Amino acid sequence: MCGIVVTHDVSDQQVEGAPPSAHAAEPGGVGGGDDGEATRMLERISHRGPDGSGSRRVGPTWLGHRRLAIIDVEGGTQPLIDERGNVLVGNGEIYNHAALRAELGPDRFATSSDNETALRAVVAWGPQAIDRLRGMFAFAVAAEDGTLLAARDPLGIKPLYWAREEGRTIFASELRAFPEEVRPLIEAFPPGHWWTRSDGLHPFADLSARGRPFETRDEARDAIRDVVIRAVEDRMMADVEVGVLLSGGLDSSIVAAVAARDAARRGMRLQSFAVGVEGSPDLEAARVVAEALDLDHHERIYTAEEAYNVLDDAVRVIEHFDPALVRSAVPNHLVAELAARHVKVVLTGEGADELFAGYDYLRDVQPEDLEAELLRSVRGLHNLNLQRADRTSMAHGLEARVPFLDLDVIAVAARVPVTWKLPGEHGQEKRLLREAFAEWLPDDILWRRKAQFGDGSGAADALGAAISARLDDADADEQAARHEGLPTPRSAEEAVYQRMFARHLGGIRADKVLGMSPHT
């Protein structure tokens, strides 16, 4: 897990691929020969890679990298360079790198880094190799002939933004990296796409693909259990210890149960981390799970005052102002801070609700519309829940992995007939998922009703006073709406968060980079 910055300036070249000439960037600009501003961009995201940094210029392209050492701790320093001078900087993990490495020929590799596999695959097989990568990633590969390829994983688990103007393209892992003068140009690089200047954007993943529907509930339960177990075990891949963020809800508890079994096979005891206000449901449930699974459990109890104090920082960190996202970001921020004192990698339960219809609002969706709504919500995760999960963890130099968003898990979930996902007016949501892990968790956890993290941890109540204290401006909505690029607030609470967002990231066009949850 890392942070990357890439600047690519061919403004004085006729054709991409021609031998690069000497570049002179405009004063104060980014790209060309202005490595100083690119270096400053990289420093703004130093929290994503506290273990080191590196950079390299390849003709018109400057590539910078901040490193959090997870795999090949000693030898995986980036940028990664092959014998032909091709250079990669990447953020994320390629979980099937061992299989691809064997196919490519292990003797040609200089490191055991999974990101080197991405470099070798793209050089050997071209952009079509990207569809064979399984994991979470955002990377760029520059060549000596002046060409550049950028790519982002199918779900956008790893962040990537870009700003484009004539002849010049800038990439970075976070919005805060970009200089202020570039902010109006920033867009989210689309998940599941690769790009070159000559070929433009190309999709390489189809999340709407559907396989044969399951014929029986038993078949579906077995497939769900098997694929989730494989996904969790794949994400235990690391040369450092892996922990789990444990809310005490169904999804994180399932992940913890599988990870605990895998850790035990390695002779280790899984570490778990939970936060909440005193007496909160999440804290109590997490303790039950930790005891049942014999976890090495850590928790942090926070107060309303602490929630108040971290609110502005949470908005700055997640680079968002959606109220539902901010409320859950406060406990996420605090639990990541706790976990980072003990481990470098954690597993989370993100994604299960989108795959198995876990949200309350889905009870009102008509059966014929549910499949499309679930697909829409999965596609929209990259600039909502996944953005929160990435930013709150990486703010503390912590990598968060999301087993439920493995492509194979998504494919299995898509085969479940939509009528089997419907909870009914009073039924239990995610019933098939619960039944699939019936022997793995205590019944009171297995059948616990869904609670949003901000609610279950007590953050929503704790933030009530904090929000009220900031609603002393009668023109809050109008003032927030005047910030360039921000939409009219949907509530006074959102107006508060918008003002915080604008103070830290003024000038960014929200419609180009952010998603908005259906309920505030």
The reply to whether omega before 213 is within 30° of 0 (cis) is no
CB atoms within 10 A of CB 83: 7
Q: How far apart are CA 189 and CA 170, in angstroms?
A: 11
Q: Are 268 and 296 in contact (CB under 8 A)?
A: no
**∠ CA 239-245-246, rounded to 5°:** 135
Q: What are all long-range contacts of 304-310, with beta carbons under 8 Å and residues at least 24 apart? A: 304/277, 304/461, 304/462, 304/463, 304/465, 304/466, 306/334, 307/277, 307/459, 307/462, 307/463, 307/466, 308/462, 308/463, 308/465, 308/466, 308/469, 310/334
The active-site residue, picked from 1, 2, 258, 402, is: 2
CA distances from 36 to 43, 191, 262 (A): 11, 29, 46
Read off the tokens for 182: 């570039």
**Which element (helix H / strand E) includes 242?**
strand 242-245
CA distances from 226 to 220, 266, 408, 485 (A): 10, 20, 10, 45
Active site residue 434: no
Distance of alpha carbon 180 from the chain centroid: 24
Q: Are 41 and 130 in contact (CB under 8 A)?
A: no
Residues facing 152 on adjacent strands: 138, 193
Catalytic sites, residue numbers: 2
